[in-house]
Amino acid sequence: MSNFVLQGAEAHYGATRVLGPLSISVDEGEHVALIGKSGAGKSTLLSLMYDRWRSQSVALMPQALGLVDTLSVFHNVYMGRLDRHRWWRNLATLAKPWKRDIDEIVALLEEVGIAEKRWTPCGELSGGQRQRVAAARVLYQQGELLLADEPVSALDGPQASSVMEKLTRGYPRTVLAMHDLELALSFCTRIVGLKEGAIVLDAPSETLSAAALQDLY
């Protein structure tokens, strides 16, 4: 099992320090919500975590999603495991996917409610549909840790809850930058609050309320 620990981590923009120094660890079974107003350092911390831990079976769901608009929903999800196959198999999949890959990916697309779009180019999808494709891709990728930046921001209440449940169930540990405090408290076991690039709160979700977290905004 990998060791996910940052000690005295910092991030700079030019000569200006924008994050840290800070220390944080993520243990197995923990689902961490990063909260704080825009510019507090949530996305920067996620990027720093990914840079430090990317060799340790980490999946990333960036806010920009990183989908290829000209490829189908199926092929965008398949990209989650590109590094596990030989180049010729990946190339062949562009023209004629294997049935076992189709079956596995369609099952994930059904879980996030977008299976009917499996052969639709991602460039033709709405924002919420694209976010569900990106969620299916990281679920297909699997790993020891998921880092996700606002993974359900384009989804409505029931869809957002459904995808959050699947992401936190699909990974043994997650770190999710969140703006929806109710969702963060419902699906994450730990809340880390950021302000001006520093950690100002780190507590179990069960000890907090959405009202108590408003001071971070």
Determine phi and psi for 162, rounding to 5 degrees.
Answer: -65, -45
Torsion angle of C-alpha atoms 92, 93, 97, 101, degrees rounded to 10? 130
Domain boundaries, the chain: 1-57+146-217, 67-142
Helices (H), strands (E): how many in the chain? 7, 8
Quick count: other Cβ atoms within 10 Å of Cβ 119? Answer: 10
pLDDT for position 159: 96
pLDDT value, residue 1: 59
Band of pLDDT at residue 88, cut at 50, 70 and 90? confident
Give the CATH fold of the 1-57+146-217 domain.
Answer: Rossmann fold (3.40.50)
Q: What is the pTM of this model?
A: 0.95
Mean per-residue pLDDT for 178-192? 97
What number is the average pLDDT over the span 142-154? 97
**pLDDT for residue 111:** 96
Give how far Cα 8 sits from Cα of 5, 19, 89, Å.
10, 10, 42
